[in-house]
């Protein structure tokens, strides 16, 4: 992270950076919104130039916003694993992950073609957390041992995102996905 507070920058610059970030985050949660620099600037009450300058480019802005959103998700995965049995943790996390993605589907649309280092790192951490869940569940004998935890984690990461994108309305699809997935992951 570049700066916590100040860093030699003027107070208004720091404040505006926060405004722009908040606006971008808000837009990511708004269904049907378009994440353009202009839209962020309007929502933040700033000029387009100010928004770009605060982050050095649109990519960095999106990166900051998305990773800010993703952070609690990763933390939640860790918490669940620490507090619950791995199987239950995985089931609950899957449901929450899909719900999160459903209400922020702009995220996955933005991921294409942009360079988002922080987001990429965080996504890897998320996969890693799932991998730990799988590994723990496997030690308990409740997840099949003929597939590598890493492969399963990636599998879940990819497919869950896809399910989330098209289950904005139903919820039935998400439930079916979790059911099939959890059953398919059990030792056969």
Give the interface with a copy of itself as residue ranges (CB under 8 A). 109, 112, 144, 146-147, 151-152, 154-155, 158-159, 161-163, 165-166, 172-173, 176-177, 179-186, 188
Question: Taking the alpha carbons of 56, 62, 63, 68 in that order, is the dihedral positive or negative?
Answer: positive
CA distance 94 to 81: 12
Out of a copy of itself, DNA, none, what residue 59 binds, judged by CB under 5 to 8 A for its kind, is DNA
Smallest distance, Å, CB 37 to a copy of itself?
19
* Cα angle 137-129-83, degrees, rounded to a multiple of 5: 60
Instruction: Report the SS3 class of residue 188.
Output: coil
Out of a copy of itself, DNA, none, what residue 140 binds, judged by CB under 5 to 8 A for its kind, is none
The number of CA neighbours under 13 Å toward the Cβ of 145 is: 5
Out of DNA, a copy of itself, none, what residue 68 binds, judged by CB under 5 to 8 A for its kind, is none
Out of DNA, a copy of itself, none, what residue 182 binds, judged by CB under 5 to 8 A for its kind, is a copy of itself
What is the Cα gyration radius of the chain? 19
Cβ proximity to a copy of itself: between 79 and 150 the closer is 150
Cβ proximity to a copy of itself: between 12 and 146 the closer is 146
CA distances from 25 to 96, 107, 126, 170 (A): 19, 10, 19, 25
Out of a copy of itself, DNA, none, what residue 147 binds, judged by CB under 5 to 8 A for its kind, is a copy of itself
Q: Which residues bind DNA (CB under 7 A)?
A: 2-3, 9-13, 16, 34-38, 45-50, 52-54, 57-59
Q: Which of 146, 133, 66 is nearest to 100 (CA)?
A: 66
Cβ proximity to a copy of itself: between 99 and 182 the closer is 182
């Amino acid at each position: 992270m570049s700066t916590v507070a100040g860093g030699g920058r003027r107070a208004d610059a720091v404040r505006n950076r926060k405004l722009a970030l908040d606006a971008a985050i808000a837009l990511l949660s708004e269904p049907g919104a378009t994440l353009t620099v202009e839209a962020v600037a309007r929502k933040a009450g700033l000029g387009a130039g100010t928004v770009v300058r605060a982050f050095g480019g649109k990519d960095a802005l999106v990166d900051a916003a998305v990773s800010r959103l993703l952070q609690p998700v990763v933390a939640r995965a860790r918490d669940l694993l620490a507090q619950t049995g791995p199987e239950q943790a995985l089931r609950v996390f899957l449901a929450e992950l899909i719900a999160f993605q459903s209400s922020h589907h702009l995220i996955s649309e933005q991921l294409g073609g942009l360079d988002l280092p922080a987001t990429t790192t965080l996504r890897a951490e998320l996969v890693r957390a799932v991998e730990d869940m799988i590994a723990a569940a496997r030690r308990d004998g409740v997840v099949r041992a003929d597939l590598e935890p890493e492969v399963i984690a990636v599998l879940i990461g990819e497919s869950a995102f896809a399910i989330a994108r098209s289950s904005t309305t139903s919820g039935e699809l998400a439930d079916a996905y979790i059911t099939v997935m959890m059953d398919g992951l059990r030792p056969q």
